[in-house]
A = this chain, B = another copy of it.
Amino acid sequence: MDAGQVAQVRRFNRLVTRRVGALEVNHLRRGRPLGEARLLFETGTEGAELRALRDRLRLDPGYLSRLLRSLEAQGLVTVESGNADRRRRCVRLTKEGRAELAAYDRLSDELAASMLKPLGAAQRERLLAAMAEIECLIRTAEIELCVVSPKSAAARRCLCAYFRELAARFEGGFDAGEGDPKLEREMTPPNGCFVLARIDGRAVGCGGLRRIGERTGEIKRMWTAPEARGRGVARRVLHELEALAREAGLNTLRLDTNRVLVEARAMYRREGYREIARYNRNPYAHHWFEKKLEPTA
């Protein structure tokens, strides 16, 4: 990554925190301390658990409590204990609180509109397109990867969604039953591993690795949630699996894929996988790939 690129990002960060950030801070408080305004905003019409608010806004429990007392005193929110766990309390907006929130909403709209107003129609389109692009890419950059057991709840959800998708897309359908217990065992250490991709805590993709030879591994169960496609989730998962494979001393990775999964095939090619002859008996596979891993990442 060269210095020019870094400089561009810095210029952008600077501009955007200056202009957008400063405007937000000054406009969106409505004569209220920023902390309270943010809290009101983050509570939303739905209400929220204190715990969630503390995590999202990174607030000290004491501080949060005090802010809530203040909002309560203003008649904007009520706090009551949750019904499942009575330690966890929930905030809800009162009618007045919802009115306040609506006012913030209007302000926020005005602020956004004021960024567009001075521009011509073509420039607006360009601005919006660029914003969408950045939004998408920043979220991509925020994909978190972690190694989990394929039996964990999140992993199971991903695998089920994956199987459902295969059943819908494969020409002859796909029957995974309850998955493949043997494969799942092989995707846990020491024989392999299973990687989950998360965005904002939500699982949006997965992929597994199992050893199939002395120094050969196989990639299985690569999947990306439909709402997260086009953000490089699969690519990141694949890189992670490759890194783990290298750590495990493997020098070759193989994988197979069905002919209807065109995007997947293109991705594997981009990532340096070469098509090879059939190496297994998977009845659903039409293409087989292999990549030699270089020892240093």
Name A's B-contacting residues (CB within 8 A): 1, 5-13, 15-17, 19-21, 24, 108-109, 111-113, 115-120, 123-124, 126-135, 137-143, 232, 235-236
Knowing A21-B21, A130-B134, say if A9 contacts B115 (CB, 8 Å): yes
A113:B232 contact, CB within 8 angstroms: no
> Which of B109, B130, B137 has a CB less than 8 Å from the CB of A137?
B130
Knowing A8-B131, A128-B9, A132-B8, say if A137 contacts B119 (CB, 8 Å): yes
* Complex CA–CA separation, A34 to B11 (angstroms): 19
Chain B residues contacting A111 (CB-CB under 8 Å) are 10, 13
> Which of B13, B19, B137 has a CB less than 8 Å from the CB of A112?
B13
In the complex, besides A12-B135, A19-B142, A123-B140, 13 extra interface pairs with C-beta distance below 8 angstroms are A1-B113, A6-B113, A6-B116, A9-B113, A9-B127, A11-B131, A13-B111, A15-B135, A15-B138, A19-B138, A21-B21, A118-B140, A134-B134
B12:A21 contact, CB within 8 angstroms: no
B140:A119 contact, CB within 8 angstroms: yes
A232:B119 contact, CB within 8 angstroms: yes
Q: What are 8 A-B contacts defined by CB distance under 8 Å? A: A5-B128, A6-B116, A11-B135, A15-B139, A119-B140, A119-B141, A120-B235, A130-B131
Chain B residues contacting A117 (CB-CB under 8 Å) are 1, 141
A109:B141 contact, CB within 8 angstroms: no
Give the number of times this chain occurs in the complex, counting copies: 2
Knowing A1-B116, A16-B20, A138-B15, say if A232 contacts B9 (CB, 8 Å): no
* Complex CA–CA separation, A127 to B1 (angstroms): 13
Chain B residue with Cβ nearest A145: B118
Chain B residues contacting A141 (CB-CB under 8 Å) are 115-119
Chain B residues contacting A11 (CB-CB under 8 Å) are 131, 135
* Complex CA–CA separation, A235 to B13 (angstroms): 27
> Which of B7, B19, B112 has a CB less than 8 Å from the CB of A6?
B112
* Complex CA–CA separation, A115 to B142 (angstroms): 9
* Complex CA–CA separation, A7 to B127 (angstroms): 13
A95 to chain B, nearest CB (A): 24
Chain B residues contacting A8 (CB-CB under 8 Å) are 128, 131-132
A126:B133 contact, CB within 8 angstroms: yes
* Complex CA–CA separation, A137 to B12 (angstroms): 12
B15:A24 contact, CB within 8 angstroms: no
A247 to chain B, nearest CB (A): 19
Chain B residues contacting A135 (CB-CB under 8 Å) are 11-12, 15
Chain B residues contacting A9 (CB-CB under 8 Å) are 112-113, 115-116, 127-128, 131
* Complex CA–CA separation, A243 to B137 (angstroms): 40
* Complex CA–CA separation, A135 to B7 (angstroms): 13
A93 to chain B, nearest CB (A): 19
Chain B residues contacting A16 (CB-CB under 8 Å) are 16-17, 20-21, 134, 138
